[in-house]
Structure 1
Amino acid sequence: MAVAEAQSEKYSRHLKERVRFYRLTRKFVDEKEVPQEAQQIMYYSLAIGHHLGIVDCLQSDMDCHGEEYLAWIEGLPKDSEAYRKMSGFLKFGEITIFPEHIHMLATAFQQINPATQSETSQRLTAGLIEILNAIHQEPMMYLMVRGTVQ
């Protein structure tokens, strides 16, 4: 990783935020907002895979401070795909973890020696593994990691 990139991550404005891990808990179609003449279009779009009119209900499963988040992901190898994925939060203020990321992230976080982690990092690792297992059981589920101003 380039020194400039590491410094920009270290001083990211997102480090001052509260990091929340939101898990999709359910989806529903908001039919009352769709005019009768447009409902067929909505149902057709759902059938072909677009999510017009779908409302995702997210639940915050865990959270930490931005500095704790950075300390946590620092346990990952800097050249790994897992680090690249998780450090996206520092750049963009949010990341989305889909079923295709489960194996890569679970493997990477399970390889971190707990003795090298703080209590918070251990809690985050255990919580993430639990959420990834839930996504594995229900592939329509996903996880959004998003910063919120404190």
Structure 2
Amino acid sequence: VPKGVVGVVSPWNYPLYLGVGDVLPALLAGNGVVSKADPQTALTLLWTRSLLHEAGLPDELWRVVAGDPVEVGTALVDTVDFVCFTGSTATGRTVAERAARRLTGASLELGGKNPLIVRADADVAAAATGTAVAAFA
């Protein structure tokens, strides 16, 4: 069910995957999207948007904004119909509070919430290597 305009706030790490990972489903569901790019990785979103435009996506369906994270991010959260945020737990709390004031739905992927279980019968060296690789893959 379309929500209207979905605001997507993405972090600097994995700018293509995390920056576009919420955009595509939002568009496919019939929403317009405004992405707030991290200032360090805005070109990745602009490049991807350009490719989708070449593929036929109407220009007005996906906009990319960049700038001061607090100023631009706050304006985005305060005006969209649904918020997708990936980032720190501290900022996620602020996003959730602002969205809740307007009774706006939000999807939050916050740092520090990825548990890991290494069973007693596991190869501990392989688990340690896999964990380190997965943290940055």
Normalised to the residue count of structure 1, the TM-score between the two structures is 0.27
Kindly name which structure, 1 or 2, has the bigger radius of gyration based on alpha carbons. Answer: 1
Higher relative contact order (CA 8 A, sep 6+): 1
Normalised to the residue count of structure 2, the TM-score between the two structures is 0.28
Higher share in helix: 1
